[in-house]
A and B are shown apart, each in its own frame.
Chain A
Amino acid sequence: QVQLQESGPGLVKPSDTLSLTCSVSGGSISTYYWSWIRQPPGKGLEWIGNIYYSGSTKYNPSLESRVTISVDTSKNQFFLNLTSVNTADTAVYYCARAGLWGNWFDPWGQGTLVTVSS
């Protein structure tokens, strides 16, 4: 059974870069699409972007100028970089598998809270 686990700093300063890693276990990262999704405290879900194991990406237009998602198939990991963060980027960040065609999200990681604060 595939499991995902997010890791990275829980506190990031304004204007810095938020960097997270999603480690995939119980299955290969190859073949599927993989995603990052976030949820500000007390609010709804926002799709950030997808990456195919080959490296092709799609991003939320509202974040595209600041987001980079990458993959390392040898480590069964994919990554999120979000530049020039501000307090509005404070959220629980989830990684998830987006399926063979990048459609629905299942399974999800447990999520990691990233707070943007000086």
Chain B
Amino acid sequence: EIVMTQSPATLSVSPGERATLSCRASQSVSTNLAWYQQKPGQAPRLLIYGASTWAPGLPARFSGTGSGTQFTLTISSLQSEDFAVYYCQQYNKGWTFGQGTKVEIK
């Protein structure tokens, strides 16, 4: 099984600041990686797939980079609606999720 490790577990950021979230795979997943946002009481929402392709309607302040085993989700200027938990997910071999990064208000 491919293990996905996200860091940090919690990220405290002020509105308007940049947030950088990391996701590491235990073996190469090429660019077969997606990112999701989950707010309390809601289902996860797809943000990015193919490591860097925006889901329809995603604001441009979100961007994804990486390939192989190292991936990054960047939110360039945090808005109030961006405070949530973010999950990465690989679909290169099976389907596994990271444990999540909570982005909270500083």
A contact residues vs B (CB 8 Å cutoff): 35, 44-47, 50, 58, 60-61, 94, 98, 102-111
On chain A, the residues within 8 Å of B77 by CB distance are none
* Residue count of chain B within 8 Å CB distance of chain A: 21
Given contacts A106-B46, A111-B43, contact A44 B100 (CB under 8 A): yes
On chain A, the residues within 8 Å of B97 by CB distance are 44-47
A98 to B49, CA, bound (A): 12
Contact mask B93-106 → A, CB, 8 Å, 1/0? 01111111000000
* A45, B34: Cβ atoms closer than 8 Å: no
Interface residues of B in 75-99 (CB under 8 A from A): 87, 89, 91, 94-99
14 A-B pairs whose Cβ atoms sit less than 8 Å apart in the complex: A35-B95, A44-B97, A44-B98, A45-B44, A45-B89, A45-B97, A46-B97, A58-B94, A98-B95, A103-B34, A104-B46, A106-B46, A107-B46, A110-B42
A46 to B43, CA, bound (A): 13
Name, among B55, B95, B98, B99, the residue most crowded by chain A CB atoms within 10 Å (CB to CB).
B95
Q: A45-B89, A108-B43 are in contact. List 17 more A-B contacts (CB 8 A).
A: A35-B95, A44-B99, A45-B44, A45-B100, A50-B95, A58-B94, A60-B95, A103-B34, A104-B89, A105-B89, A106-B46, A106-B49, A107-B46, A108-B44, A109-B43, A110-B42, A110-B43
Whether a CB of chain A sits under 8 angstroms from the CB of B17 is no
* B46, A61: Cβ atoms closer than 8 Å: no
* B43, A106: Cβ atoms closer than 8 Å: no
Closest Cβ–Cβ distance, residue B89 to chain A (whole Å) = 7
B contact residues vs A (CB 8 Å cutoff): 1, 32, 34, 36, 42-46, 49, 55, 87, 89, 91, 94-100
On chain A, the residues within 8 Å of B96 by CB distance are 47
Closest Cβ–Cβ distance, residue B48 to chain A (whole Å) = 9
